[in-house]
A and B are shown apart, each in its own frame.
Chain A
Amino acid sequence: MLSGLFLIGEREHMLSDLFFFIGEHGQPMQTTMLLTVIAVLTVVGYFLGRGRAVAIAGGRLSTLHSVPPYHGFFVALWAGVPALLLLAVWVSCEGPVIMSLVLAQLPAALIPTDHQALTLLQTDILNLAAGVSNGREPDPAVADAAGLYNTLHMVAESCLLALGSALAVAGLTLARRQIRGDLRARNRVEAALNVLLILCSLVAILTTVGIVLSLLFQAIQFFTMVPLTDFLFGLHWNPQTAFSGDVKGSFGAVPIFTGTLLITVIAMVVAVPIGLMSAVYMSEYAAPTVRSVAKPVLEILAGIPTVVYGFFAALTMAPVIRDVGTALGLEVSSQSALAAGVVMGIMIIPFVSSLSDDVINAVPQALRDGSYGLGATRSETIREIVLPAALPGIVGAVMLAISRAIGETMIVAMAAGLAANLTANPLAAVTTVTVQIAATIRGDQEFNSPKTLSVFGLGLVLFIVTLILNVIALRVVQKYREKYD
């Protein structure tokens, strides 16, 4: 019950924040007041509703269809929700409506016909209304319009306060009057909560869909300039030359994909054995005291910001690798795939180890007992029984780690460089998809140039690859779950 109250309060708090942003023209005073009124009425409604239900029950709660707190929430919802809806609609419509009223008052001669000038005029009015001068002496008609705008705004705000409060009070009283012993308050409240939850998940889903769609549209635009085959199979990535008209030969993404692959492979070569073995140690060998210290320490690795790993890779790891390489007579560039890959691997170790540790622990003790009971040693049991049983989960963990590695930007940008070399040599400088995206977006670019749009192409490929990896990982993990539940 309390958490329900808290939820409602929380929601209003967030809404009020939102309205402070929206209500940028003029004082949000009335809006805040209305929110306060609604909050108070909601709380009052809760207690009134609950009290009334208790009174109706007359000491025999079992005569009620729902327990009294649900009646309280029922009234509170009626007090709060309609008024909040009114507020939301009002705030989003108020500006445009007032503006059109103001414009209607202006002499027709002053109203420009083309869209851009009209927007400019509206901005002028709004600025004047808010008391912001643009330095020039304003046209008296425009100044009048600004005055009118302010007046209308004040009136509207007061109306809102009055209407909103009235609506909240009306909702409260009507709902309270509805309370009877057989009122299905619980079902109503559950339905309202249901709607709230649906709205929240809709927001999450719609955002995702929106991002994917915009990615898709921009990528399509890019592929109208650069053929898809050139992008996927071209061997030269050099967006700078695209300005000299050579759009076709400049956007071959193969070096970037191989760079990403190279670094990911290096990272996995580091992370998988170390992560897996430390997971085996933690779950099968370590004494409880060791485990209780070592596991959190390992997980701290996951909390280090990637930037820190990045400069560790660039300033510590890369020079060490270069010096060792030079001492061995190898040619090592000061930015190398190896440095970035190794450090990225270290970053991913806790991922692999902590997820693997979980799946290894989920292997039933009965299986270990069965194996020990046959005279198997501990390492035989781990190799032959525990790891195979945990394998699907471990594969899932590794997949998630790979998609994390592919998406990682900072370390590579700092340690492996920007040069799109097509090479499998871990000692050379390479670049990755994410680094190219970050580097391209950073400059001041014309938005419609192929160079800028190329990031959408890269982003789309990245998205598809990580999506596939995640889907595989989830399915594998799911299959694993089915087996032991």
Chain B
Amino acid sequence: MRLDNIQMSVANRQGPAVRAIPSVNNKITARDVNVYYATKRALKDINLDIEENRVTALIGPSGCGKSTFLRCLNRMNDTIDICRIEGQIQLDSVDIYAKAIDTVQLRARVGMVFQKPNPFPKSIYDNIAYGPRIHGLAQRGAEMDEVVRSSLERAGLWGEVKDRLKEPGTGLSGGQQQRLCIARAIAVSPEVILMDEPCSALDPIATAHIEELIDELRASYTIVIVTHNMQQAARVSQKTAFFHLGEMVECNDTEEIFTNPRDERTQGYITGRYG
């Protein structure tokens, strides 16, 4: 009953927002999404819209299903045998769980950056070139060089690594590695980038770097970021969704969530009473 109220109120709030910035439309829509790991229900009837060219932050206590939801958006959960998904998720109004959808193409459109930097044990160059190569996006040689350069540039890493492209990506610092992983995701020209706690393994300076980068990338990509850090959510995102025990409790403009949460669970979480 109360959940319905919240969703109604969220919908009410979205109305004027859409009018204020007409260019905003929904990139991804999730409707009645339920996820089960074997018999355990990890997500309960999730309804959430992800707006284009915005940063959407997913917050909530550990184990509430943020990563699970994120992994639904590029079907990474398919790699987990016991995972079962119900409901509908649309990317540009096309059901991504439809039979005709190829996960290879889907994941090229919806890239992912993981919690722990996971550069491949290859050279910096090959880390970036890997995605374009398997998708046939660029020819070997000058064309690939250009893709590598522009991806590294957009990830703000080019200046630091341009003289050591042949060195292993694993030799970079943690923050550099994470930006390498972002560059790697950018290299296949995705439309959406999913980030699962991308800064939780990094020091504050590297974190600030990544946050700046996310803000720049917003112009070209739709970004969904899971974070444990409330300040980070407030700094980088325009929309915030609060998850609790597998439910999506509240989704609203970030400012609104942090200054004027509708649900007392949200309030409890952002004021640090639990979680």
Contact = CB atoms under 8 A, between A and B. Distances in A.
Tell me whether A and B are bound partners: yes
Interface string B214-240: 000000000000000000000000000
B14 interface: no
B131 interface: yes
Contacts of A389: 120-121
B116 A375 contact: no
Interface stretch (B89-97, B105-113, B154-162): B105-113
A364 B120 CA distance: 10
B104 A483 contact: no
Nearest to B194: A373
Given A374-B185, A375-B104, A375-B108, A369 B131 contact: no
Nearest to A368: B79
Contacts of B76: 369, 372-373
A389 B131 CA distance: 17
Q: How large is the interface on B (under 10, 10 to 19, 20 to 34, 35 or more residues)?
A: 20 to 34
Nearest to A385: B120
Contact of A374 (B81, B116, B122, B131): B131
A97 B111 CA distance: 86
Nearest to B109: A375
Contacts of A388: 121-122
B145 to A, nearest CB: 19
Contacts of B116: 366
| Interface class of chain A by DSSP | helix
Contacts of B121: 367, 388-389, 483
Given A366-B118, A367-B120, A369-B79, A374 B170 contact: no
Nearest to A380: B134
B88 interface: no
A375 B79 contact: no
Contact of B170 (A287, A369, A483): A483
Contacts of A375: 103-108, 131, 134-135, 188
Interface in B10-61: none
A377 B118 contact: no
Nearest to B132: A374
A299 interface: no
Contacts of A369: 76, 79, 112, 114, 118
B258 interface: no
Contacts of B135: 375
B134 A373 contact: no
A384 interface: yes
A364 B122 contact: no
Contact of B118 (A364, A380, A384): A364
Nearest to B131: A374
A374 B107 contact: yes
Contacts of B81: 287
Contacts of B185: 373-374
Contact of A377 (B104, B114, B181, B188): B104
Given A375-B105, A375-B134, A375-B135, A370 B111 contact: no
Which one of B79, B106, B135, B188 has the highest number of Cβ atoms from chain A below 10 Å of its Cβ?
Answer: B79
B74 interface: yes
B184 interface: yes
Contacts of A40: none
Contacts of B106: 375
Given A364-B118, A367-B118, A384-B130, A373 B104 contact: no
Interface string A371-387: 11111110010001100
Interface string B115-156: 010111110000000110011000000000000000000000
B118 A370 contact: yes
Given A369-B76, A384-B134, A483-B170, A374 B118 contact: no
A380 B81 CA distance: 20
B67 to A, nearest CB: 11
Contacts of A385: 120
Contacts of B131: 374-376
A384 B112 CA distance: 19
B79 A370 contact: no
B57 to A, nearest CB: 20
B107 A372 contact: yes
B59 to A, nearest CB: 22
A397 to B, nearest CB: 18
A372 B79 contact: yes
Contact of B112 (A364, A373, A380): A373
A137 to B, nearest CB: 84
Given A372-B76, A373-B112, A374-B185, 15 more contacts: A367-B118, A368-B79, A369-B112, A370-B114, A370-B119, A371-B130, A373-B107, A373-B114, A374-B108, A375-B105, A375-B131, A380-B134, A385-B120, A389-B121, A483-B170
Q: Closest 6 A-B residue pairs measured CB to CB?
A: A375-B107, A373-B112, A366-B118, A375-B108, A374-B131, A370-B118
13 contacts: A367-B120, A367-B121, A369-B76, A370-B120, A373-B114, A373-B185, A374-B184, A375-B108, A375-B134, A377-B134, A380-B134, A388-B121, A483-B121
